[in-house]
Amino acid sequence: MEKLLVFFVALIAVVVGSARADEFLISHWCGPTEATHEKFAEAAEAGFNVIMFGGTIEQNKKALDLCQSLGVKALLIDGRIMAKKPGDEDFEKNLDAVVADYGSHPALWGYYVQDEPNAAMFKHLAAVNKYLIKKDPVHIPYINLFPTYASSEQLGNPTYEHHVDEFMRLVRPKLLSYDHYALLANGERADYFLNLEIIRRMSIKHKTPFNYILLSMPHGPYRNPSEADLRWQVNTALAYGARGIMYFTYNTPPPDPNWQWHSGIINEKGERDRKYYEVKRINYEIKKLAPTLMRLNSVAVYHTGRIPDGGKALPQDGLISIDGGEFVIGQFNSDDGQKYAMFVNRDMRKGVYASIRFSQRVNLAQVNPNTGRLRPIGVAERDGSCVWKTRFGPGEGRLVQIDLPDNLPVRHWEDLPEFRPRVMLNPSAQFQNVARNEKQEIIYVEGENMYDIAVKVKEYLDRDGRIDAFISRNHRNHRVTLLYETELTRMLNCDALVSLHSDATGKKDDPGGGTWTFYADEDEGKRLAECVQMPLLEAIKTFHPDVNFRGVRTHWYRLWVLHEAGCPASLTEVLFHSNPQEVEMLKNPEYQDRMAKAIAKGILSYFGVE
């Protein structure tokens, strides 16, 4: 978000979309600058239902009271939220105070956390997000991401999809939010639909609803949006399954020679711009569609005419075909099994007459944007198919329920993205950890033997064929650093890291023995550790019935690979190479194979593909 610091310094109010299960959030940045009934009522009248406000603690509490009186929610900016890092002494106490001040107020929507973070901030954001949810599970910690046209330096990641995926894995937000301003003075950004598709993919992969921030104010290289421009942005996002819409911006920010802010929804004079009334109409239509939208699950998105970057052509042998114009069609299944489609005219400058053909008999009903009720649509039947002829205005979208009375099969209705999980197998690179016989000859090298087991694990996973497995070293004697291993894991955008080691006591009179697995993250890390350890334990018992199971737990040191991999990670001490009996088991090819097969089984179980 451009020049966000200006807004924070000025404590300008802003508004944000949401994805709570019970409502579709309609919001905006740069909202009322004063916590007064007049200013908040004006925003509520325009159809916004979440107002972000930043002030002192007392001003924020007043904003909450105002929101409650107007029937809207508040997203609060409080500088304490990001003031302390996870390792700081007062980190938890600081957030406890924020939750104590606002968490019980009925008008609170959530806590503003961060805008457009670099990947270097993800661990900090993850800690804040996790703690706020733990202390206040009802409300949403809000974080907004960059658009596709951000540079790799801004992202801190090699690609945009990698960036969003890593953010979702590490931070695990309740809402995935991003901004993209497509309306340039001389045309539209070519990557607009690519951005929507990436966000939709990540929303589906991580089972998290998404919010889209659109352009509503001219500044810098961006044009002053018409009502058709606004509708185009809103309706295309709805076609991709958005559960929240935000406008950038509501109030016009203070003058800036670089960005040249002007003509916000509330203009620089503090008066209602013509867009105020356009946005008001659009917002009230969204509110009527919202009860239906919140029950829909995106299953496919197709395009007609010229196919934009990131788009897929509408299949010729599917249920729907369209003659005339260029459309985006979002296909949905409702919670109760009904089929819906969102048809959007991709031309934001011209209306179009379209002939929409269905390959079998259908009963159509549009969700009326003025009432929210279903309104039957007349169609002409021709040789077992149906045709709906209608006109769409520039950027217009229509949400339609499709009933199939003959219950015939439909091709290409669902085109859900497929995600091949990626796991990094991280065999110990500790070549100095060895076992010797009575003649002091080296009979075991941890770095070499753990590599042997990792290779076998990969062979089993490759044979299964449903996930992509990598090894963090190229060969048995490959020397690497911990930094190299974790950076490779991040560069390959892995969904999990499984580190394999053998243990030792370092005491001549205590050879030790047993197996255990460590994790850092209490949620996914712990689940991964359990999935790996428990099948491994059962496999070890087949040749070592009295093995000492030492548990699945956190480590007493901050192990690098568990904290820096950019994904859930586990570290398994398979057996003890300081134990004369167990070191022979670690060397035994048959036992290695049994253990590798069990570890592979556990990894598949973690990804839900066993």
Whether omega for the bond prior to residue 371 falls within 30 degrees of 0, making it cis, is no
Which regions of the chain carry the CATH code 2.60.40.1180?
299-403
Percent of the chain at pLDDT > 70 equals 96
123-182 pLDDT tens trace: 999 999 999 999 999 999 999 999 999 999 999 999 999 999 999 999 999 999 999 999
**Average confidence score pLDDT of the chain:** 94
Q: Give the model's confidence band at 506: pLDDT under 50 very low, under 70 low, under 90 confident, else very high.
A: confident
Which CATH number applies to 422-606: 3.40.630.40, 3.90.180.10, 3.30.2130.10, 2.60.40.1170? 3.40.630.40
Q: Give the model's confidence band at 384: pLDDT under 50 very low, under 70 low, under 90 confident, else very high.
A: confident
The answer to whether domain 4-294 has CATH 3.20.20.80 is yes
Q: Angle CA(279)–CA(234)–CA(112) in degrees, nearest 5?
A: 80
Predicted pLDDT at 357:
97
Distance CA(535)–CA(515), nearest Å, equals 12
Q: Closest Cα partner for 396 from 289, 296, 317?
A: 289
* pLDDT score of 13 more than 50: no
93-109 pLDDT tens trace: 999 999 999 999 999 99
486-500 pLDDT tens trace: 999 999 999 999 999
Distance CA(75)–CA(105), nearest Å, equals 12
What is the identity of the amino acid at 477? N
Which CATH number applies to 299-403: 2.60.40.1180, 3.40.50.2300, 2.30.30.60, 2.60.40.1660? 2.60.40.1180
Predicted pLDDT at 98:
98
**What residues are paired with 410 via a beta bridge?**
none
399-458 pLDDT tens trace: 999 999 999 999 999 999 989 999 999 999 999 999 998 889 999 999 999 999 999 999
Which regions of the chain carry the CATH code 3.40.630.40?
422-606
Predicted pLDDT at 9:
32
20-66 pLDDT tens trace: 346 899 999 988 989 999 999 999 999 999 998 989 999 999 999 99
Predicted pLDDT at 126:
95
Distance CA(460)–CA(469), nearest Å, equals 10
Distance CA(576)–CA(585), nearest Å, equals 10
Q: Per the structure block, which two tokens stand in for 307?
A: 């196919």
Distance CA(426)–CA(409), nearest Å, equals 46
* Cβ atoms 323, 355 nearer than 8 A: yes
| Count of positions (residues) in the chain | 610
What is the rounded average pLDDT of the residues 251-276?
A: 95
Predicted pLDDT at 339:
98
Distance CA(376)–CA(261), nearest Å, equals 44
Which residues, at least 6 apart from 267, have a Cβ–Cβ distance to it below 8 Å? 252, 273
Distance CA(319)–CA(448), nearest Å, equals 57
Q: How many CB atoms lie within 10 A of CB 89?
A: 8
Distance CA(16)–CA(245), nearest Å, equals 8
Q: Give the model's confidence band at 383: pLDDT under 50 very low, under 70 low, under 90 confident, else very high.
A: confident
Predicted pLDDT at 7:
36
Bridging pattern class, strands 352-358 and 339-345: unpaired
Predicted pLDDT at 1:
62
Give the CA dihedral 581, 476, 491, 482, nearest 10 degrees. Answer: 60
Which regions of the chain carry the CATH code 3.20.20.80?
4-294
**What residues are paired with 247 via a beta bridge?**
28, 214
Q: Closest Cα partner for 229 from 286, 289, 184?
A: 184
Predicted pLDDT at 438:
85
For tokens 């039957």, name the residue: 376
Q: Give the model's confidence band at 15: pLDDT under 50 very low, under 70 low, under 90 confident, else very high.
A: very low
* pLDDT score of 3 more than 60: no
pTM above 0.85, yes or no: yes
516-553 pLDDT tens trace: 999 998 889 999 999 999 999 999 999 999 999 999 99
* Cβ atoms 444, 583 nearer than 8 A: yes
- The distance of Cα 302 from the centroid of its chain, to the nearest Å, equals 22
* pLDDT score of 5 more than 50: no
Q: Give the model's confidence band at 2: pLDDT under 50 very low, under 70 low, under 90 confident, else very high.
A: low
**What residues are paired with 52 via a beta bridge?**
14, 75
Predicted pLDDT at 4:
45
* pLDDT score of 319 more than 80: yes
